[in-house]
């Protein structure tokens, strides 16, 4: 599949937290703490370590630790293998911690693509844009 037929996806969430980076880092890297805010997991803070995140909905994410810079930066792959292109996803989650006067600025960037995305959908999508916007309003918290 060529590069252009892939839909590149990026989501960014940033937040200031009134806690020192060392403490935020522990919450991001200790399995029993990760479970409390994210998902059940067998994470280890070791580059190359493969682990799973298990969602309450029954889905299992395949992950691999890509970057470990204690108290500064953590990155792991976040793949969801699904036969249906609407759900299939290959992505990377990068969490960056920056110390501030009041604590930590935490930035999450998730970027990736859907490998099964077909070109036809890109064209079809344009015509449907308005309709989809209405659907989103109707659906509210459907996601």
The pattern of x and - marking residues 101 through 140 that bind another protein according to CB under 8 A reads -----x-x-x---x-x----x--x---x--xx--xx-xxx
Q: Which of residues 19-48 bind another protein (CB under 8 A)?
A: 19-20, 23-24, 26-27, 33, 36-38
Nearer to another protein, 48 or 127 (CB): 127
Among 9, 66, 68, 92, binds another protein (CB under 8 A): 9
Least distance (Å) between residue 123 CB and another protein = 12
The residue count of the chain comes to 143
Pick between residue 44 and residue 121 the one whose CB is nearest to another protein: 121
11 binds another protein (CB under 8 A): yes
* Closest by Cα among 98, 92, 94 to 71: 98
Residue 30 burial by Cβ neighbours in a 10 Å radius (0-12, 13-18, 19+): middle
Name 9's bridge partners: 112
How many residues at the interface with another protein, by CB under 8 A? 39
- Nearest residue to 91 (alpha-carbon basis) of 78, 82, 104, 100: 78
The residue among 17 and 68 lying less far from another protein, judged by its C-beta, is: 17
Q: Could you please report the per-residue DSSP string of 100-120?
A: -SSSEEEEEEEEEE-TT--HH
């Amino acid at each position: 599949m060529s590069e252009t037929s892939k839909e590149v996806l990026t989501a960014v969430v940033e937040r200031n937290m009134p806690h020192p980076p060392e403490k935020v880092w522990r919450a991001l890297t200790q399995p029993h703490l990760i479970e409390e805010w994210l998902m059940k997991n067998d994470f280890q803070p070791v580059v190359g370590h493969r682990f799973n995140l298990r969602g309450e909905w029954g889905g299992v994410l395949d992950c691999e630790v890509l970057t470990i810079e204690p108290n500064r930066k953590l990155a792991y792959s976040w793949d969801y293998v699904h036969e249906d292109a609407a759900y299939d996803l290959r992505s990377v989650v990068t969490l960056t911690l920056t110390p501030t006067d009041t604590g930590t600025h935490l930035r999450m960037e998730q970027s990736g693509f859907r490998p099964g995305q077909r070109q036809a959908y890109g064209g079809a999508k344009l015509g449907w844009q308005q309709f989809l916007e209405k659907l989103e309003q109707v659906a509210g918290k459907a996601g």
